Amino acid sequence: MNSKDERKNRRGVGSRRRDVLILALLCLFTVQCVRSTFFNNESSLDWSTYAAGTAALPYQGRVGMVPVLRWAQRTGWMVRGAARYQVMMVAGARYREPVTVEKFASLLVGLAAAFVLLGYAVWYGRRRGVGLWWLPSVLLLGILTVSLVVRSEHTVWTPYDLPHTALFGIAVMCAFEGGWLAMLLLFVVDVPVRETSIFLIAVAAPFAFLHWKRLRGGVARVAALIVGMAAYWEMWQVMIRRRFEHNPSDTGPRVATNLHEILFPHHWPQTLCVGGYLIIFIWLERHLLSSRERLLLYSTLICAPITLYYGVWGETRIWLEWSLPWAILGTREFEGYLRQRNAVPDRMEERSLVA
């Protein structure tokens, strides 16, 4: 083997080691984000009532995690694990909210969901030609951390946030890339987890039209997809309303709360924190995206009026489900900026050369 081949092999080994180090750091970041989500925040609900089916709507209507929490309640090693984790967490510190078995199970499921999100972002970076393969993952974890941890108001955790973020986010990217079967399977699982899964239709419809418009009966296929998804979603909502019709309800617009958020400036940092700040910059630099990527951006924002009507504007979690698509769009904009920068000569350098 000549010296050139040896240098190439050494560079390959060094690159692999660097990639392993980056991946290890991303994994640690993921674990800390999820742990902080559950221990920097406190639940506003007793999730044992959610498992029993007596919590208020709309929380009770997000039934996807009910079987998981019921299983945890009657599983001995989960109960013992929660008790041991409680001892570990309070050693040398004080936590006001105990580690119940429901919280312990939610933490484990949230951790699994976060690793699924991380895995998809890493896969996207490696397989979709991203120069810095780790950038989608870093942006994703940055959004999750700001949305779930860096909060001074509305500091709550819920069992279904991270599972929905993973299912919905990957389903959005499947629609963007034309993976219709995978998208539908994820949608089927996600609908019981959170009602905002219906927002997937706003993303699926335009991309399905682009995909099928030139085929015979393409419009009929798109219509069948939309109607089928909407019917499945409505079936679940009808079952939930009938099953929990006697439960108390907290569903409705948060007009008074949001007006208070707007009128008093000390709320503004928290309110502007929604979406991990990233969506503002993605919108401002949308010219760096391809037409297809801009369509994805517009599809994610078309649902904003509904979110703003029902959500608390200072609650960073209201945009959480869009974390993965926004992280990928942010990555694409960064790549577009680099291409643009490399195509335009540095004027300062030109002037110095002329001088």
Residue ranges of domains in the chain: 31-347
Average pLDDT over residues 25-35: 94
Each residue of 333-354: pLDDT tens digit?
A: 998 888 887 775 655 444 444 4
In terms of average pLDDT, the best of 35-44, 199-208, 329-338 is 199-208
Q: What is the pLDDT, as a whole number, of residue 344?
A: 59
Q: Does residue 113 have a pLDDT over 90?
A: yes
Each residue of 119-128: pLDDT tens digit?
A: 999 999 988 8
Q: What is the pLDDT, as a whole number, of residue 90?
A: 67
What is the number of other CB atoms lying within 10 angstroms of the CB of residue 265?
Answer: 8
In terms of average pLDDT, the best of 61-75, 215-229, 254-268 is 61-75
CA distances from 154 to 4, 167, 188, 269 (A): 58, 24, 30, 13
Q: What is the pLDDT, as a whole number, of residue 217?
A: 76
Average pLDDT over residues 307-313: 84
Average pLDDT over residues 232-242: 95
Each residue of 139-172: pLDDT tens digit?
A: 999 999 988 888 777 788 899 999 999 999 999 9
Each residue of 45-93: pLDDT tens digit?
A: 889 999 999 999 999 999 999 999 999 999 999 999 999 988 887 655 5
Question: The tokens of 56 are what?
Answer: 């208020």
